[in-house]
Structure 1
């Protein structure tokens, strides 16, 4: 099978492209940074550089491939709506249109469970529990991009969307690096009572889910799937495990949720007024994520994709810590 992987210079896209090559697939990759895909080219991937906002470039990327794994997108919770719309919605529209024009058989779209998050506790949330209003521009545009993908089904494109929660492992630059940096500066505190449980996903388990999505048939198609390790854990136990592995002091200081949320709101307001609107070090969304229970029901993926997480979170964290130490 010949596939295209977008966003291959990033964590998820890069790790899946490598995994696909190891499985014997023919892989074409696209990414923002050429140096970020050098290791894939050395392993046999074809690299075509360019901006996914260019429809002609995307049309060329989709030529002569059987399936597209679309991992590229704008991430984060701070920034202008138009930037998130371009990076998530417009780029996805280009990928969908090019897939249809080039008669690509299947599109696997990497979405996000952030679409569910409304600042409240949620346990065992199912795929259909999408709120009427979204918490931020990222969540809103990721859901709108999903709708663009599913809209192509009526034109013959086979589609699947995956919503993986807090993916980690070697190459993760989004979750733990920021927490490690804050703890080194003695600025990290447990928000609330520290007992809230959340889901994480090993990158290796996500790779298996993506591969299953490429091979799935029949009633498995045309659906969105929650993906996680399926074993929710107290988030601060996980954070302190990483701190121990990195020989840093554990987080033991507590801060009330109300105080933390107010401080984050003040920090956001200050950044809005500052020239260039820099991203705040504290955000209201960040305080909510670190304080609320947020777990996914993965039974749909288990049933339709035969998704059975094999790699534990602790193994994924050891992988991340070993990789991060090597980077430092």
Structure 2
């Protein structure tokens, strides 16, 4: 099987490439200009190409000779110019689908997000829950792209399956998991509210498994969306204190009221919109981050289990242990490198 992975230099994309190689697929790794290809170049038989999701010519080149496309790349985060999100998350997606169909690609797996359900949730959320756009361009463009994908499936027979991952964590995640581990390690970690809310964490290789199974699934999966999460009910307190246990540091005791933190995020966003209408720099706190950590978010994975054969393999204890081991190894390497530089060796 010859597969293309977009966003291959990223956290999820890198793990997906690794797992595809492990099962014997030929992989073409699509990365943005300027991204570091070093890790991908260590994997046997991976073809690394550079391109741009907003450049139709590079997309057409990327899909030539490909049987499956795993579209992982996206402009993420809740803050930035709307036009930049539109260019990558909407127009880039449609251009990739068009190029892939023209090249005869058999299956396209599009990575969306649980953000399409909104952040203020009640009860257990299934794929039948309605869209709810939050006040950020990431949420809006993820919903917009899904609408247009379903339209392409219906009107043009686009062979697309949509995967909606929950809050991904694990080794090589410097943007989220690594930041939380550092906070807990330094004694600056905190709990929002009483800490008993369910956090929708899912280990990175389980998400990659879901993407692969969506690629392998029969035609019944085309035009369907699947939430990929861990159905183990993990509270915020459980998650953060498991990190503390792996670091051998005390459990978190500092608590902040959830409502006050959310209000602070809303005020910060309002001020930043006035100060920086182009959204070039993010505020110090956002409602997106507050609801992700402090909100109660429960998701059903019954559809993915039944229709894709998806089954999470990493419970949170094992996943956190793997992630913290990566973090400690990374910190140790950084310390040794800094010591070598300071000693002149």
Structure 1 and Structure 2 fold alike (TM over 0.5): yes
Cα 1:175–1:57 change in 2 (3 A) is same
- Look up the match of 2:281: 278
* CA shift for structure 1 position 115: 1.0
Q: Tell me the secondary structure at the aligned position of residue 28 of structure 1.
A: strand
How does 1:192-231 map onto structure 2 within 5 Å? 192-231=193-232
* CA shift for structure 1 position 32: 2.2
- Look up the match of 2:61: 60
In the alignment, is the contact (CA less than 8 A) between 2:181 and 2:324 conserved in 1? no
How does 1:261-272 map onto structure 2 within 5 Å? 261-272=262-273
C-alpha distance in 2, partners of 1:303/1:184? 40
C-alpha distance in 2, partners of 1:138/1:222? 22
In the alignment, is the contact (CA less than 8 A) between 2:116 and 2:132 conserved in 1? no
- Look up the match of 1:307: 310
C-alpha distance in 2, partners of 1:309/1:95? 29
C-alpha distance in 1, partners of 2:197/2:78? 21
C-alpha distance in 1, partners of 2:245/2:88? 36
How does 1:94-243 map onto structure 2 within 5 Å? 94-118=95-119, 120-153=120-153, 154-183=155-184, 188-243=189-244
Cα 1:258–1:215 change in 2 (3 A) is closer
C-alpha distance in 1, partners of 2:269/2:181? 21
* CA shift for structure 1 position 217: 0.5
* CA shift for structure 1 position 100: 1.6
Cα 1:194–1:280 change in 2 (3 A) is same
C-alpha distance in 2, partners of 1:4/1:152? 20
How does 1:3-42 map onto structure 2 within 5 Å? 3-32=3-32, 36-42=36-42
**TM-score between the two structures when normalised by the length of structure 2:** 0.88
- Look up the match of 1:257: 258
Structure 2: gaps (5+ residues): 332-345
Structure 1: gaps (5+ residues): none
When the two structures are aligned, how many residues end up with a matched partner?
A: 327
Cα 1:295–1:141 change in 2 (3 A) is same
* CA shift for structure 1 position 261: 2.0
In the alignment, is the contact (CA less than 8 A) between 1:9 and 1:33 conserved in 2? no
In the alignment, is the contact (CA less than 8 A) between 1:182 and 1:188 conserved in 2? yes
The one-character-per-residue Cα deviations of 1:67-105 (angstroms, maximum 9, x if unpaired) are 100000011111122121112112111211111211111
* CA shift for structure 1 position 273: 4.7
* CA shift for structure 1 position 142: 0.9
Q: Once structures 1 and 2 are overlaid, which stretch shifts more, 179-188 or 72-81?
A: 179-188
C-alpha distance in 2, partners of 1:33/1:19? 24
